[in-house]
Amino acid sequence: MNVMIMKCKLAHLLVFLSLCTPFLMADNVTLEAESKDSKEVHVTYDKLVEELKHVHRLKSILNLLTWDERVNMPDQSADFRALQQGTLARLVYREFTKQEIGGYLNVLESNGDQLSSAQRALIRETRRKYDRKKSLSEEFVARKKEMESKGYQAWKKARDENDFMLFAPVLEEILVMAREEAGHVGYADDPYAYWVDRYDPGFSVKDIDQYFGELKSGIAPIVAQIQASSVKPSRDILKGFSVKKQKVFITEVISRIGFDFEQGRLDKTIHPFCGGSSEDCRITVNYAKDAPLFSVFGGLHEAGHGLYEQGQPEQYLGTPLGEALVMAMHESQSRLWENQIGHSRVFWEYWEGEYRRLFYRQLRDISSEDFYRAINAVEVNPVRVQSDEVTYNLHVILRYELEKKLLDGSLQVRDLPVAWNKLSEELLGYTPKNDMEGVLQDVHWSIGAFGYFPSYALGNMIAAQLWAQLRQDIPNVDEEIALGNFAPVLVWLRENIHQYGKQYSTKELVKMATGKEMSSQYFLEYLSERYLPLYVGDGEEG
Amino acid sequence: MNVMIMKCKLAHLLVFLSLCTPFLMADNVTLEAESKDSKEVHVTYDKLVEELKHVHRLKSILNLLTWDERVNMPDQSADFRALQQGTLARLVYREFTKQEIGGYLNVLESNGDQLSSAQRALIRETRRKYDRKKSLSEEFVARKKEMESKGYQAWKKARDENDFMLFAPVLEEILVMAREEAGHVGYADDPYAYWVDRYDPGFSVKDIDQYFGELKSGIAPIVAQIQASSVKPSRDILKGFSVKKQKVFITEVISRIGFDFEQGRLDKTIHPFCGGSSEDCRITVNYAKDAPLFSVFGGLHEAGHGLYEQGQPEQYLGTPLGEALVMAMHESQSRLWENQIGHSRVFWEYWEGEYRRLFYRQLRDISSEDFYRAINAVEVNPVRVQSDEVTYNLHVILRYELEKKLLDGSLQVRDLPVAWNKLSEELLGYTPKNDMEGVLQDVHWSIGAFGYFPSYALGNMIAAQLWAQLRQDIPNVDEEIALGNFAPVLVWLRENIHQYGKQYSTKELVKMATGKEMSSQYFLEYLSERYLPLYVGDGEEG
C-alpha cells in the first residue's frame, strides 16, 4: 500500500530467505521446510496473542502512570514518576522486542494460508510495530527521550521569553534526530514520508498534498462569505457558569451518548485528554467560568475518543485487532461527536432545556437563536486550539507546509518565524504579533512529533464523510438526536468503525464504511451547510 | 537473632562453600579466592543498590495500582486490574530474584569487612528477602495468589450469610498452604514462628507470649475500674458533622503535624489506608456524618504511617535502609499520633477552637469536658476496629491465641467459632451474638495473613514506650503541642526512628531510642494515666 508496508514485506522476505535452504524459491512462502501443521500454527498464534496481551497490560500501566501524573500526582513526586516511567518503558520495550515474538511472527508469516484474514491482519500490524521498534536501538530510544525533554524545556523557556531564537538551536538538533530515526527505519531519502506514515499508516505525502490543496481552495470562499457577513455572533455573551454545574452537565451528556462510567472516569486537567486503556478509559476536561463551551465541547471531544476505545472488540483487547486506529481515525471519532453532533441544532434541541435549568440566570436574557449562534461563532483566531472548525484546518495546513520543508531541508530553522508569519497571513489573513502567538504556540515540534498535525485535518475530513454516510443510512437520525437518543449513532460507529480495531487501514475502513474513497468534498459540503445559513442566511440549515 | 537469621546464615554458608576451593575453611569468609579489592567491592555494592532501586520503582508502581484500585478505579475494570497487577507482580518477582542479585550478595557477604555497618545491614536485609522469595517457587506464589482470592470470596459469602461453616472448608485449605509456605522457608516444625517472623522479623512466639500475658493481666483491672465507674461518656453526642468540613479539618491537622502534601495526597476510601511510596505517599480516610471522630483519628493514624514513610532517608530510598520497618514499628508510628497525641488534652487545647469554628452548631451545647470525655469513651465493643485503645489489645490477644493453635493443629477449624466465643467471653466479658459479630469479623485469615494481628498490639506497646521517652527528652512537649507546634515530636521521631530505615530490627531500635528493652509496662502505665482520672477521677491526668 505504501513504502512502509513494502518495507515490511521486504524485511519479512529477508528473514524468510535467511531461514530457507538454498533450493527454495523466495516467493513461495508455504514450502516444506517452513510449513507447519494447522494445530502447530494455531498454537503459535495463541502464544503470540498471549505475549501481546502481556505487553499490553504493561503498556496500559504506563498509560495509567501518565494519567495519574496529570490528574493526581503531587508536584514534588515528578522526578520519581519520571524514573518509574523510564523503568517501565524499558521493560515494555524489552518484552515486546524479545526474540520469541520475532520467532512467532516468522512462523506465522510463513504459514499465513492457514490463518484467517483477521489473524493475518494481526500479524501484519504486529510485524510493522516489531520491525520499527527493533530498528531503533535502546540507545537511540534513550537518546530520543532525553532530546524530547530537552526540546520541551527549551520550547517552554522560549515561550516564556517570547523569543524563538532561544528554541532554534535545539529545534535543529531535534530535526537531525528526526531524520536519523527515519533513516533507521529505511526512509533516509524521504524522512517526512516516514513521519506521516508513523502517525497515520497508509497515507502518503502525495495524498495529503491533494486533500490539503482541496481544503485550502474550498475553505477560502466560505471564510470570505462569513467575514463579509454583517452577522457577528460572539461567545462572550456566555459568562459566569459555575464549574460544579458545568461538570454535572457534561457528565450527563457523555453518559447519555454512551460513555461507560463503569469502565471509565471523567476528571479535570488543564489540557484535556483521553488516557488509560479500553478496559479502563479515563477522559479529562477543563472548566472555565467565563468560557463554558470549553467543557461541553472538550468533554464531547474526549468522550468521542473514549467511545472509540470502549468500543474495541473485547475478545481482541491487547492485540492490534482490539486497538483503535491512530491518529486520523481516532480524531474523526472525537470530532464527529464534538462538531457534527455537538454543534448541531438537534443536539441542542434536546439539551438546551437542561442547560437552561442548570444556568437559568446566565441564559435567561439570551434567545435560543443567539445561544446557537454563539456556539457556532466563526472568527479567525491566531491560536489553533482556540479556532472554530471552519478555520481550524488552515492552521493545520500551515504547519504541514512548514514541517515538510523543515524535514527535507528546504526551509532553515532560522527562517521559520518569517515563513510562519508569511503563511499565516496568506492562509488566515492574519500576521502573528509575536513568536508566542505564532511559531511557538504548539508543543509538537519540541518533542519531535513531526507528521502529527495532518492527522487533525484528516480526522475532520473523515468525520464529515462518515457523518454524511450515517445520515443516509439512518434517515431519521436528526429526530432521534432531538429526542436524546444517541444509540443509533453509536451503533453505526460500533458496526462500521469500532469493531475492526486495526484490522483495516484508515483509508480502507473509510471506504468500507462509506463506499467511497476518502475525499475532502464531504467536509467542505458540511461546512457550507452548517455555517453559510447562519451567516449568509439563505435558507434552513441541518 | 532467631531461626530465620540462622537459616540465612546457613544458606549463605552453603553458597559460599559451593564456590570455595577444597582447602578453604568454611568459617573464614575473607579468604584469598573470595576476597576482592575495595574498589571492586564498592562497585558491586553500587550495582546491587541500582538493582534494588530498579525493583523498588516497579514495586512502587504496583502500590500505585492498588491505591488507584481503591480510590479511582471504575467498578467493571476490576478484572483487568487484577491482570495488570498479576503481570507486574511476576515481573517484580523475576527482577528481584534474578541471578545477578544473588551473585552480588555472595560477593558482598564474603567481603563484609570492607563495608560499613549500614551497608552490611542493607545486605543482610536484602539477603533475608532474597532467600525467602527464592524459596517460594513462582508456581507456589501463583497458587497462593489464587488461594487468597478464593479465601476472600468465601469469607465474604460466609459473612453475607452469617455462617462460618461456608468459610470453614476454605480456611482448612488456607491453613494447609500457610504450613506449606513455612515449610518451604525452613519452618516445617514451627509454622507459626515463621508467620510471626514474616510480619515482624526479630520477634519470637516466646516474646509475644510474655508481652501478651502481661498485657492481659495489666488491662483487666483497668477495664474493671472503668466498668465499675458511674461515668459513662458516649460518642453519640457528636452528630451531623458535614463531611466537607471534616475534610477541611483533618487536612489542616495532618498538614500541621508535618505530612507533606507536596509529596503526598489525602483521599477517601471506605477502609482507610496508607499507600503509594515514600516518594509519593497517599493516605485515605473515610467520613461519617454521625461519627466525626472516625475521620479525625483515622486521618491521624494514616498520617502517622505517612510521616514514617516520608521520613525515610532520601539517599537510601529504594533500598532496605530507606524502607520503614514492618509491621509493629509502622503501627507504633500511626498509633502514637492517633492515640498518645490525638487523644490528649493538650492536642485539643490547640485544635478545639478550630473544630468549634467549623462545627459551631453541632458543638455549641457540648462542654469542652464532655467533648474530651466523648473522645476518650471506653466501652467493650464486639468489633476490633471499633474498639477503644483500652480494650483493643484484648481483641488482638484473642486472635493470637487462636491462630497459634490453628497453625500447630491443636485447634480444629470446625471448633473455631466456639473457641472464639468462649475466649471473647473470657477476655472481653462478651459473647458474640453470631459469626459475623465474632469469628467472621476480620479479613486477615481469609487471605492467609496469619501472624499479622500481634503487630497491632506490639505497635501499641512501642508507641507508649517511645512516647514515655520522648516526654523525658522533651520536657515541654505538652506546651509545644498546646501551641500547635508539632515539630519537636516529629524531629524526635525522625532522629530516633525514621532515619534508620531497616538498618536495625524493631527491638534493637526501640532499645536504642529508649535505652530499655521492649516492655509492656509503658503501655499499661499510659492507659492508667490517661483513662483512670477520667473514670475514677483521682486527680489530674496528662
pLDDT in tens, A251-266: 999 999 999 999 999 9
> How many alpha carbons lie under 13 Å from residue A163 in its C-beta half-sphere?
6
**How far apart (Å, rounded) are the C-alpha atoms in residues B20 and B34?**
8
Residues B239 and B362 in one domain: yes
A510 domain-assigned:
no
pLDDT tops 80 at residue A186: yes
A:B CB pairs within 8 Å? 73
pLDDT score, position B298? 96
Q: Are A170 and A154 in contact (CB under 8 A)?
A: yes
SS3 assignment, position B488: helix
Catalytic residue among B302, B323, B389, B403: B302
Lowest-pLDDT range, A190-194, A448-452, B139-143? B139-143
The answer to whether the Cβ–Cβ distance between B64 and A68 falls below 8 Å is yes
Q: Are B241 and B292 in contact (CB under 8 A)?
A: yes
DSSP characters for A155-182?
Answer: HHHHHHTT-GGGTHHHHHHHHHHHHHHH
Residues B349 and B495 in one domain: yes
A32 domain-assigned:
yes
**How far apart (Å, rounded) are the C-alpha atoms in residues A298 and A490?**
19
* Domain boundary, last residue among B115, B135, B155: B135
Residues B114 and B263 in one domain: no
B101 domain-assigned:
yes
Cα dist from A19 to A26, A33, A97, A109, B268, whole Å: 11, 9, 19, 12, 59
Q: Which of B52, B57, B282 to mutate to test the interface with A (most CBs of A within 10 A)?
A: B57
**How far apart (Å, rounded) are the C-alpha atoms in residues B418 and B435?**
10
pLDDT score, position B23? 32
Q: How far is A262 from chain B (nearest CA, A)?
A: 5
The H or E element spanning position B276 is strand B274-277
pLDDT band for A14, please (50, 70, 90 cuts): very low
Q: Are A85 and A65 in contact (CB under 8 A)?
A: yes
DSSP category for residue B69 = H
CATH number of the domain to which B526 belongs: 1.10.1370.30
- pLDDT 10s digits, A421-442: 999 999 999 999 999 999 999 9
pLDDT tops 60 at residue A172: yes
Residues B108 and B241 in one domain: no
Residue-range definition of the domain harbouring residue B488: 235-379+463-535
Q: Which residues of B touch A83 (CB under 8 A)?
A: 57
Q: Are B294 and B288 in contact (CB under 8 A)?
A: yes
Q: Are A152 and A179 in contact (CB under 8 A)?
A: no
| Chain A: residues touching B (Cβ < 8 Å) | 54, 57-58, 60-61, 64-65, 68, 72-77, 80-81, 83-84, 87-88, 91, 260-265, 277, 279-280
Q: How far is A326 from chain B (nearest CA, A)?
A: 23
Phi, psi of B3 (to 5 degrees): -60, -40
- pLDDT 10s digits, A453-462: 999 999 999 9
Residue type, A138: E
pLDDT score, position B34? 63
Q: Which residues of A touch B74 (CB under 8 A)?
A: 261-265, 280
Q: What percent of chain A has pLDDT over 70?
A: 93
**How far apart (Å, rounded) are the C-alpha atoms in residues B489 and B474?**
8
Q: What is the pTM of this model?
A: 0.88
SS3 assignment, position A59: helix
The answer to whether the Cβ–Cβ distance between A61 and B61 falls below 8 Å is yes
* Domain boundary, last residue among B120, B135, B150: B135
- pLDDT 10s digits, A287-311: 999 999 999 999 999 999 999 999 9
Nearest chain B residue to A310 by CA distance is: B77
Q: Are B316 and B324 in contact (CB under 8 A)?
A: no
Residues of chain B under the 50 pLDDT cut:
1-33, 539-542
Residues A110 and A257 in one domain: no
Q: Which residues of A touch B260 (CB under 8 A)?
A: 76
A226 domain-assigned:
no
B525 domain-assigned:
yes
Q: Which residues of A touch B83 (CB under 8 A)?
A: 57
* Domain boundary, last residue among B79, B103, B135: B135
Is residue B302 flagged as an active site residue? yes
Q: How far is B284 from chain A (nearest CA, A)?
A: 14
DSSP category for residue B274 = E
Residues A337 and A483 in one domain: yes
Beta-bridged to residue B284, according to DSSP, are B267
pLDDT tops 90 at residue A29: no
pLDDT tops 80 at residue A32: no
pLDDT score, position A271? 87
B150 domain-assigned:
no
pLDDT score, position A538? 53
A151 domain-assigned:
no
Residues B131 and B275 in one domain: no
Q: Which residues of B touch A280 (CB under 8 A)?
A: 73-74, 77, 80-81
The answer to whether the Cβ–Cβ distance between A280 and B74 falls below 8 Å is yes
- C-alpha grid cell, residue A51: 505475549
B209 domain-assigned:
no
**How far apart (Å, rounded) are the C-alpha atoms in residues B504 and B121?**
8
Domain count, chain A: 2
- C-alpha grid cell, residue A144: 530520543
Q: Which of B65, B268, B279, B312 to mutate to test the interface with A (most CBs of A within 10 A)?
A: B279
Instruction: Give the mean model confidence (pLDDT) for residues A143-150.
Output: 87
